[in-house]
Structure 1
Amino acid sequence: MWKALSERDWDAVKSHLADDCIYADMPVGPAASARGPEDIVKRLKIGLEPLASYVNHDGLLVADGATVMYEHSETWEWRTGETAVLRFVTVHHVQNDRITLWKDYWDMSALVNFAPSTWLDDLARADMSWIYDATGQI
């Protein structure tokens, strides 16, 4: 899944997600989650598709039964030249070889500090039809 995400191969990313998978960026909380492969990819595209370059850097991977924790970093480079290295801890729950829950923990201020000045405005104009309120579910 991470290789597909690094390549921004959206169909391959979807193939790793359960039909009812929930994706949550924990800095913004479960009220702005996405549910299902189509909406999760819509959500991911908001951040990753406009980038000139996106690279996932491997890190520590730990599994305990169906729970997988992955400490990694990502380098985001915008077409305007700004670059950010974002450090993540991702928690996946996996059942039947599909991700059923995906939670990302990271420092949003690191992104805001290095993103182009137009980034927040672009985010405000993005398609938000993917929003799913997962409060109480994760």
Structure 2
Amino acid sequence: MRGLWQTLSKRDYDGIADWVTDDCIYLDVPVGPAFAARGPADIVKRLQVGWGGLAAYENHDGLLVADDDGNVMYEHTETWTFASGEVVTLAFVSVHRVRDGRVCLWKDYWDYGAIMNNAPASWVESLATADTSWAYDATGDV
């Protein structure tokens, strides 16, 4: 799974499809299952809502734990550098369910307040007009 995170750290959006299944559900747990994304193309659109306006993004490796049933937990941090100069480092735990070597369920746990209280107002305001064509209600799926 570290390969997925190396791909993400490079913001290699085309490469994400190599790591997730066609029916993969991506969910930011603090936001809730009504705003999940499903499938590689929509996961990319979802990620671009947060990262699209960043000057830089970097994932920092952390603890990776997996079991024999394809469940993976990854504790890591992400540094977001905004175009206006603010830098925020966020703690994450990502939970993946893996099927045939690819992620089929991806749930990110993070502190909503940490990003909303430290991101520039322009980035927060951009969320209100962001493309949400990716939104998938995964309430019954996760």
TM-score by length of 1: 0.98
Deviation of 1:17 after TM superposition, in Å, equals 0.7
* Structure 1 counterpart of 2:114: 110
Shift of 1:120: 2.0
User: How does 1:1-138 map onto structure 2 within 5 Å?
Assistant: 1-65=4-68, 66-138=70-142
Please state which structure has a larger fraction of its residues in strand.
1
Question: What is the letter of the counterpart of residue 4 of structure 1?
Answer: T
Task: Provide structure 2 residue ranges, at least 5 long, that are not aligned to the other structure.
Answer: none
The one-letter amino acid of 1:84's match is V
AA of the residue aligned to 1:114? N
Unaligned stretches of 5+ residues in structure 1: none
Cα offsets for 1:40-83 (capped at 9, x unmatched): 00000111121111010000000012000000000001010111
Across the aligned residues of Structure 1 and Structure 2, the Cα RMSD in angstroms comes to 0.7
Once residues 13 and 36 of structure 1 are traced to their aligned partners in structure 2, the CA distance between those partners, rounded to angstroms, is 10
Percent sequence identity over matched residues? Answer: 58
The whole-number CA distance in structure 1 between the counterparts of 2:52 and 2:9 is 11
Q: State the 4+ residue runs in structure 1 displaced beyond 2 angstroms.
A: none
